[in-house]
Amino acid sequence: MVTLAEVARQAGVSPSTVSYVLSRKRSISDDTRRKVEAAIEALGYHPHAGARALASNRSNILALMVPLRSDMYVPVIMEIAMAVTTEAREYGQDVLLLTKDEGTRGVRRIAGSGLADAMIVMDVELDDDRIPVLRETDTPAVLIGLPADPAGLACVDLDFEATGAACADHLADLGHRDVALIGEGEGVYQRHTGFAALTLRGFQRRAAERGLRAMHRACEGTYESTAGILSRILEERPSTTAFVVQNESAIPPLLSLLRLSGRAVPEDTSVVAICPDQVALQSSPRLTSVSIPAEEMGRRAVRMVMAQLEGDRGESVTLLPPILTVRESSAPPSAS
């Protein structure tokens, strides 16, 4: 372990000087700066994280709490986590991975130990028990997701209500009259995760406003459940000409089933997905979709949390506007 003191000796300056060239908190002559930097380079010096945390009361670590096993689509979680990690490095911060199952104890542990300077919390439930703990703590925090009562907290999320509405609008614009939303699994609605319910509400309201007849069915995403739901929908309302899919796992089965039943997409049936762009682009045909801005949410969360570390009050709700991209899976309903 090479220490700051050794660097100082090697450079022929005092320890505090070395500290200051590192922190840029006071001006240093070009000459000494160079000497110090040379010494750092030569010795391969890296400041001891613990010592720094102790003296400065800043760990330069952000805690990220992710779902251990959730109904959320795994690639989205991963993309958010990677975006958070990448963006955090831009601020010189590292990321500590916590699992949601540590729950409030995890939050208390982090806040109490100074292990992290701030927290980013994913997979937020409407009435999440971590929220009160976060509120009473003075550790800056940002939620990715929207709880029932966001008062006193900072949140980022896709505007799912607007997302549902955008899907209804697009299909109404194309001239569809009977549409169906294939949603997330039952569990997602029951666990009171906000996004699924919000999407549904936005979809139904806008559908009503636009004079569409809208159905909704929860879907677990397996081949079997998708098949069952599809056939039930088509039985109950054979005039259905368009589907909105929210559960990413249901996309491959749905496309496969439509093909099998001889319904061409988009000629006979339109499909609009709510999914990451990558999924929409990998499917065949490429899907018209509202993209889940996973990377954007991750980056924003970091920026928001860093702003709080700079003194920002940290009470804000950022809802990212949905972006619907028209691709090959949606078209006007066939004249038949």
Positions that interact with a copy of itself (CB under 8 A)? 1-2, 44-54, 59, 61, 64, 66, 68-69, 74-75, 77-78, 81-82, 85-86, 89, 94-99, 101-102, 108-109, 112-115, 221-224, 227, 249, 252-253, 255-256, 259-260, 282-284
Instruction: State the binding partner of 325 from a copy of itself, DNA, none, CB within 5 to 8 A by kind.
Output: none
Q: From CA 177, how far away is CA 51, in angstroms rounded?
A: 66
Q: Is 148 in the site for DNA (CB under 7 A)?
A: no
Q: Is 196 in the site for DNA (CB under 7 A)?
A: no
Which strands form 288-291's sheet, in the order they lie side by side? 213-217, 178-182, 242-245, 270-275, 288-291, 324-325
Q: Is 34 in the site for DNA (CB under 7 A)?
A: no
Instruction: State the binding partner of 14 from a copy of itself, DNA, none, CB within 5 to 8 A by kind.
Output: DNA
Number of CB atoms found within 10 A of residue 213's CB: 14
Number of residues this chain uses to bind DNA (CB under 7 A)? 30
Q: Is 55 in the site for DNA (CB under 7 A)?
A: yes
Interface residue with DNA among 5, 78, 208, 323 (CB under 7 A) is: 5
What are the backbone dihedrals phi and psi of residue 220, each rounded to the nearest 5 degrees, phi first? -75, -20
Interface residue with DNA among 4, 65, 141, 166 (CB under 7 A) is: 4
Q: From CA 38, how far away is CA 43, in angstroms rounded?
A: 9
CB 160 within 8 Å of CB 145: no
Minimum CB distance to DNA, residue 19 (Å): 3
Minimum CB distance to DNA, residue 312 (Å): 19
Say whether the peptide bond before residue 252 is cis (omega within 30 degrees of 0).
Answer: no
Among 26-34, 206-214, 244-252, 254-262, which window interacts with DNA (CB under 7 A)? 26-34
Q: Give how far the C-alpha of residue 291 lies from the chain's centroid of Cα atoms, to the nearest Å.
A: 12
Which is nearer to DNA, 25 or 313 (by Cβ)?
25
Q: From CA 218, how far away is CA 191, in angstroms rounded?
A: 13
Which is nearer to a copy of itself, 120 or 156 (by Cβ)?
120
* β strands within 48-105, DSSP E: 61-66, 94-99
Q: Is 54 in the site for DNA (CB under 7 A)?
A: yes
Q: From CA 160, how far away is CA 123, in angstroms rounded?
A: 14
Instruction: At 53, list the tokens.
Output: 């945390």
Q: From CA 258, how far away is CA 153, in angstroms rounded?
A: 44
Among 25-33, 134-142, 182-190, 244-252, which window interacts with DNA (CB under 7 A)? 25-33
Q: Which residues bind DNA (CB under 7 A)?
A: 1, 3-5, 12-17, 19-20, 22-23, 25-29, 31-33, 45, 47-48, 51-52, 54-56
